[in-house]
Amino acid sequence: MVTDVGTGGLDLLFRRRSIGRLVEPAPDESELGSILRAGAAAPDHGELRPWRFVVLRGQGKDEFGAVLADAYLQRVEAAGGEPVPAKLEKERTKLGRAPLVIVVCAVHRHDDKHPWDDQLGAANAAAQNILLAATALGYGSMWRTGDVATDARVKAAVGLGEHDAIVGFLYIGTPAEGQAKPPKEPVLDGLVEEWTAPQS
């Protein structure tokens, strides 16, 4: 099989896989600094820095679990439903799937020349840079979103307003036993074409 893994330093891109359960050790302070700087090195139209990175770990992570649980209860109430105890417990504990979670936020900058779509794109690029930096340092990671990412209460808890967005909860740590995955082998069949002008 033709493989790109190990080719020209690109192996990093293929080794990044979503790992559902991550444990200690997490990146140390110095590594975390490098990971966040990698995030801030993302392409950024207009250099607006339309992002913020909120670090959740230790007690902060536990306390944020309470925010997620409360947000779930309020979503259910607003929809006129009844909370499901197992779902409530999942919201409360889900940040426990990694020792470190980075909430990547897209912060809306008012700018006539650089639209929100570009700002959102920059924040998404920052998130991918963070995942790749974590991979380069030997850590596993996973990008997660779900209902919590668009919940106004969750957004408010990380200081965001209605015009801002959470682009992802990035879970980072060491793959738990049996969780490591092989590098990815992407298939491009049917996805690439070389454009030529229509013949008239």
Q: Residues interacting with ligand FMN, by CB under 6 A?
A: 17-18, 143-146, 168, 184
Of 45 and 184, CB closest to ligand FMN: 184
How much of the chain is helix, strand and coil, in % rounded to 5? Answer: 40, 15, 40
- Minimum distance between the CB of residue 198 and ligand FMN, rounded to whole angstroms? 34
- Minimum distance between the CB of residue 20 and ligand FMN, rounded to whole angstroms? 7
Where are the extended beta strands (E) located within 1-85?
22-23, 51-57
- Minimum distance between the CB of residue 109 and ligand FMN, rounded to whole angstroms? 21
- Minimum distance between the CB of residue 185 and ligand FMN, rounded to whole angstroms? 10
Residues β-bridged to residue 102: 55, 170
Of 17 and 111, CB closest to ligand FMN: 17
Contacts of 151 (CB under 8 A, 6+ apart): 71, 75
- Minimum distance between the CB of residue 152 and ligand FMN, rounded to whole angstroms? 18
Of 45 and 144, CB closest to ligand FMN: 144
Of 23 and 149, CB closest to ligand FMN: 149
Of 182 and 198, CB closest to ligand FMN: 182
- Minimum distance between the CB of residue 168 and ligand FMN, rounded to whole angstroms? 6
How many residues would you count in the chain?
200
Tokens of 125: 């690029």
Of 3 and 33, CB closest to ligand FMN: 3
CA–CA distance, 1 with 17 (Å, rounded to integer): 20
For residues 5-43, one letter each, b for 16 or more C-beta atoms within 10 angstroms of the residue's C-beta and e for the rest, the string is eeeeeeeeebbbbebebbbeebbeeebbeebbebbeebe
The residue type found at 96 is G
